[in-house]
A and B are shown apart, each in its own frame.
Chain A
């Protein structure tokens, strides 16, 4: 359980990150919170020759509202966002989701962008970015590009990030005044990975319902429904028709069941949502 040797580059500017990524490409990994990467290194699932520690890059530690989005820099800890007074007003769905990510000591160090970069199919923030139709800013020495969540997440632990790019920030659209939100999750122990997680956004009769944990990446559905019965019917049909993941932690039958029950719970919460 010890990492293979590597060279640690502790940088203090973005230019240094880009220079190192340009030079080392796939032989280098970015480390910010390290809450996924360090275990991966310890188990030697990966053994890169170079780590680029970006924790001292001041400009990546910022977050805040920029236009219609909540912009979160690469070094912002999950607990920082969770503890932000304005979060419930800016994006209530994130305020609902963040406490479900692992445990306090992990959120104190783990970053928002790190979770997005890792792209675990059960991760709350992956589901959050997908259902909110957010985006990711990727920067390389040659260009800067903004990629929509649906184009960024390619599969389980697979993203559109190229080896010479790093995630500078992620953007979560901020909440509309009349929008309702709901979130429900089932895991075997609080803080464990979600077996199934559901996030719901309700704008009048327009519903966006996203599921985590059922497939290689978050699955997002948009429907129009005038009544809660219609939503229920949709969830029942969807759960019966969708191909879902089966693994040692849960059968596909359990996951379908959770899609229905958690789906209804989250939709009800979105319907009754009141702004704090």
Chain B
């Protein structure tokens, strides 16, 4: 029974939809709000494909019920770039062959953005650690790590130029 009213902000837009108590935030985002960039992988918290940002912190959207996100500010992969354009991180993923099938990519992008926000110049090891909660089953991780490291250094350079 869809008796729970959930009001939340998804990528800057306020939404208001009824759902069942048992609907996960993941299913709510995909099925009820129609934002299918967030992917449903293992649905029990192992793979990281469904990672989204809730009130500024990244979480697994499969491990939270939608009704618990009432009032929350949510950002999904769609919120990290303008429609029709790619973010610098997405461009770097393309350049470094950091995806093949792309199923895990939105989760990786969100974990990587969170890592770069908290630690703008991470070491190789910190990137590996920061992305350890996301699984890729086809391309492997080397390209992903290279992409993140490259973006870290180009962003640092751009920031340096701004301050100079």
Question: Is the C-beta of B109 less than 8 angstroms from some C-beta in chain A?
Answer: no
* A79 and B56 alpha carbons, distance in the complex (Å): 13
Q: With a CB–CB cut-off of 8 A, which chain B residues contact A156?
A: none
* A35 and B44 alpha carbons, distance in the complex (Å): 9
* A8 and B2 alpha carbons, distance in the complex (Å): 12
Partner-contacting stretch, out of B60-68, B86-94, B98-106, B144-152: B60-68
Q: With a CB–CB cut-off of 8 A, which chain B residues contact A104?
A: 58, 111, 114, 130, 133
Task: Say which residue of A38, A51, A105 sits within 8 Å of B111 (CB atoms).
Answer: A105
Known A10-B67, A38-B64, A53-B68; judge A1-B111 contact (CB<8 A). no
Question: Is the C-beta of B76 less than 8 angstroms from some C-beta in chain A?
Answer: no
Q: Is the interface of B mostly helix, strand, loop or mixed?
A: mixed
B16 CB to closest chain A CB (Å) equals 17
Q: Decide: B22 and A1 in contact? CB cutoff 8 A.
A: no
* CB interface residues, A 1-26, toward B, < 8 Å: 1-8, 10
Q: Decide: B68 and A42 in contact? CB cutoff 8 A.
A: no
Query: Considering only CB atoms, which chain A residue lies closest to B52 in the complex?
Result: A105
Question: Is the C-beta of B38 less than 8 angstroms from some C-beta in chain A?
Answer: no
Q: Decide: B22 and A3 in contact? CB cutoff 8 A.
A: yes
How many inter-chain contacts with C-beta < 8 Å in the A-B complex?
A: 83
Q: Decide: A108 and B132 in contact? CB cutoff 8 A.
A: no
* A6 and B62 alpha carbons, distance in the complex (Å): 17
Q: With a CB–CB cut-off of 8 A, which chain A residues contact B1?
A: 5
Known A106-B45, A190-B132; judge A79-B57 contact (CB<8 A). yes
Q: Decide: B133 and A39 in contact? CB cutoff 8 A.
A: no
Query: Can you list the 10 inter-chain pairs with the closest CB atoms, starting with the nearest?
Result: A103-B133, A8-B21, A39-B44, A1-B43, A3-B22, A108-B57, A38-B63, A105-B58, A109-B59, A190-B132
Q: Decide: B60 and A8 in contact? CB cutoff 8 A.
A: no
* A102 and B111 alpha carbons, distance in the complex (Å): 14
Q: Decide: A105 and B59 in contact? CB cutoff 8 A.
A: yes
Task: Say which residue of B21, B27, B111 sits within 8 Å of A6 (CB atoms).
Answer: B21
B interface residue numbers (CB < 8 A to A): 1, 4, 20-22, 24, 27, 43-45, 48, 51, 57-60, 62-65, 67-68, 111, 114, 129-130, 132-133
Question: Is the C-beta of A250 less than 8 angstroms from some C-beta in chain B?
Answer: no
Q: Decide: A35 and B21 in contact? CB cutoff 8 A.
A: no
Q: Decide: B60 and A109 in contact? CB cutoff 8 A.
A: yes
Q: With a CB–CB cut-off of 8 A, which chain B residues contact A189?
A: 132
Known A1-B43, A43-B44; judge A105-B21 contact (CB<8 A). no
A-B contact pairs, 6 of them (CB 8 A): A1-B44, A2-B27, A35-B45, A38-B64, A102-B133, A191-B133
Question: Is the C-beta of A173 less than 8 angstroms from some C-beta in chain B?
Answer: no
Q: Decide: B64 and A8 in contact? CB cutoff 8 A.
A: no
* A192 and B114 alpha carbons, distance in the complex (Å): 21
Task: Say which residue of A2, A43, A53, A109 sits within 8 Å of B22 (CB atoms).
Answer: A2
Q: With a CB–CB cut-off of 8 A, which chain A residues contact B44?
A: 1, 38-39, 42-43
Task: Say which residue of B20, B24, B132 sits within 8 Å of A103 (CB atoms).
Answer: B132
Question: Is the C-beta of A232 less than 8 angstroms from some C-beta in chain B?
Answer: no
Q: With a CB–CB cut-off of 8 A, which chain A residues contact B27?
A: 2
Q: Decide: B67 and A8 in contact? CB cutoff 8 A.
A: yes
Query: Considering only CB atoms, which chain B residue lies closest to A8 in the complex?
Result: B21
